[in-house]
Structure 1
Amino acid sequence: MTRAVAGDALVVGEALIDVVHRADGTVDVHPGGSPANVALTLGRLGRPARLLTSFGGDAYGDRIRSWLRASDVSVVEGSDGAARTSVATARLSETGSATYEFELEWALPPVTLDPAETAVVHTGSIGSVLEPGATGVLSVLDAHRAHATVTYDPNLRPSLMGSAAAVAPRVDELVRRSDVVKVSDEDLAWLAPGRDPVDVARGWLALGPSLVVVTLGGEGAVAVTAQGVTGVPAERVEVVDTVGAGDSFMGALIDGLWHEGLLGAANRPALRAISGDAVERVLARCVRVAAITVSRAGANPPRRAELEATEL
């Protein structure tokens, strides 16, 4: 039996400016960062979301704050105290896939949070690995676990994080702390080369999570739970680029579990017992959100009304 989900979503991690070089020679500049994109997706899907991050009080920082506000995401007070706002340079291939270069620093601001206000706390990508902020992220997760579901998306950046061997222990540490993990097949190909993604997901499930989801790009997604393996195909769309697709999937995953009444520490037993039908419903919504995102430029996930219109 599930209980009502009380509280909001706290997302912890980097917010930055993406400078996107497209294959046709054009350059776009817009806010981004994997955790920030997850928070943005949640806000657009109508969920109360806060972002604990670090950016500067400069023009780029103002742009990030306005971008988040426009999608109903609040920024935790103190998140704008960095010396400067970080920048990621993305270079897109003719197929729309992206490679990244980064100029950033990551230190979590000293803030006071009330864990009782939070139904789910999410982290991932650079903010969960890069020190000195990464240790602070672990502390936030530990402080909230008694009240909130913990979700994690590695969203690995090899050009910034070092070798797979160096990153793997931190990834395992975060997986152990998490109730829900989402990871891409590309991340697993780098982190665990030659291994079947579903086998890796099963191994991670044994570390503690109730749900491990592997995204497979154009092949859809597969989820592993104690009840078994559930897969859904991708929706076929014309891809403009893949920027933010995984983040919008992650936001939709949190939203879907919210809709099923499975967030919050009190609902951990129900989450662990999640049925295959419920997993399929959640994943179907996730691939639809990701499909809409890749059908247009940049990290531009749909709002709830737009998503629901596609389901009629």
Structure 2
Amino acid sequence: MTDRLDLLVIGECVADIVRLPGAADQVHPGGSPANVAYGLARLGRNTTLLTQLGPDDNGRLIRNRLTAAGVEVRSDGATAPTPSAAVTLDDGGRATYVFEITWTLAPGTPPRSPHHVHTGSVAAVMEPGAASVLAGVKALRESATVSYDPNVRPELMGDHATAVRGVERLVALSDVVKASDEDLEWLYPGEAPEDVAERWLATGPAVVLVTRGGDGALAVLPGGPVAVGAPRTDVVDTVGAGDAFMSGTLHALASHGLLGPDGRERLRALDRATVTDVLRHAAASAAVTVARAGANPPDEPELRAALARF
């Protein structure tokens, strides 16, 4: 697929060191924003990733994987080691993480003016780099649509109240927001995810998406919620599932002409049939990813095949 839409993802790369009982450690390229960029490129989208990569084996591994998929990788030249996360999987394939991450993204002009900007995860909350991310989003949103996924990592969020304020600040700057029910439970303990999504919607986004694992996903719009179930699949692990959902979402929105400065008003008038189609693309993308090891989202033929089985 080729089109004129340029997508910019701002955020961290992480080397996921996957640990399975009785097996040697396996290193997989990861990091939520990097996974989203990789997923978009796999689906044929023109994608640039603004990030940090260390001059080490993990950095080279990640860069090579991204560029092989077609991502244009731009680093700010930091020399700190490439961030890593030890990923332990339970018997159901669910992942827990122990992180070694620094994020010092330097202030500066993005590589070029994109049509859409995506950010989230550690990059949007960990200082001092988070300030550069926020400034970049503010500078670009007049000429680009914006998406955001908080992808909460409790160990890295810092003070809870400060983290919530930072998340809400980016929600208000975004056109499309995606969060898992687990993200929302950490941010707002005891509140129903749909209630949080409706409150976020009132602050600026055109749509708020809530993923619910095996229970599917929900889109909250001014006209009311739209839900889809999760495709049936044999789960190998859940690493990168939310990121594949995000790249599938953006791919579908782009296909419907809903990204970029010309798409913002159309986003505000989303109809239920279009939202359902977007959710199906996102859920199918996530289903492909959980059916195989690591953050390994589908390419376009694989996504089409998954949709046919949905």
Question: Which category of TM-score, normalised to the shorter sequence, fits these structures?
Answer: over 0.9
Aligned residue-pair number: 306
Separation (CA, whole Å) in 2 of partners of 1:160 and 1:110? 21
**2:119 counterpart residue number:** 123
Task: Give per-residue Cα distances to partners, 1:82-130, cap 9 Å, x unaligned.
Answer: 32211111111111111111111101135433653x1110000000000
Separation (CA, whole Å) in 1 of partners of 2:194 and 2:22? 37
Alignment of 1:56-75 (within 5 A): 56-75=54-73
SS in 1 for 2:132: helix
Task: Return the offset for 1:228.
Answer: 1.5
Q: Is residue 2:94 matched to residue 1:94? A: no
Separation (CA, whole Å) in 2 of partners of 1:208 and 1:115? 25
Task: Give per-residue Cα distances to partners, 1:154-213, cap 9 Å, x unaligned.
Answer: 001001212432310001001011000000001111111111101100000001000100
TM-score (norm 1): 0.94
SS in 2 for 1:55: coil
SS in 1 for 2:115: strand
Q: Is the 8 A contact 1:6 1:264 kept in 2?
A: no
Separation (CA, whole Å) in 2 of partners of 1:112 and 1:194? 40
SS in 1 for 2:253: helix
Task: Give per-residue Cα distances to partners, 1:217-238, cap 9 Å, x unaligned.
Answer: 0000000111211000000101
SS in 2 for 1:265: coil
Separation (CA, whole Å) in 1 of partners of 2:304 and 2:25? 32
Q: Is the 8 A contact 1:53 1:109 kept in 2?
A: no
Q: Is the 8 A contact 2:176 2:208 kept in 1?
A: yes
SS in 2 for 1:66: helix
Q: Is the 8 A contact 1:115 1:144 kept in 2?
A: no
Letter in 1 for 2:109: T
Separation (CA, whole Å) in 1 of partners of 2:270 and 2:90? 39
Q: Is residue 2:25 matched to residue 1:32? A: no
How large is the RMSD of aligned CA atoms in angstroms?
1.4
Question: What is the aligned counterpart of 1:81 among 68, 75, 78?
Answer: 78
TM-score (norm 2): 0.95
Separation (CA, whole Å) in 2 of partners of 1:95 and 1:125? 24
- Go from structure 1 to structure 2 and tell me whether the alpha carbon gap of 1:207 and 1:225 turns closer, same or farther (over 3 Å shift): same
Letter in 2 for 1:89: A
Task: Return the offset for 1:24.
Answer: 4.5
Separation (CA, whole Å) in 1 of partners of 2:131 and 2:226? 34
Question: What is the aligned counterpart of 1:219 among 215, 218, 222?
Answer: 215
Alignment of 1:254-269 (within 5 A): 254-269=250-265
Which 4+ runs in 1 deviate beyond 6 A? none
Separation (CA, whole Å) in 2 of partners of 1:185 and 1:311? 24
Q: Could you list the runs of 5+ residues in structure 2 that have no partner in the other structure?
A: none
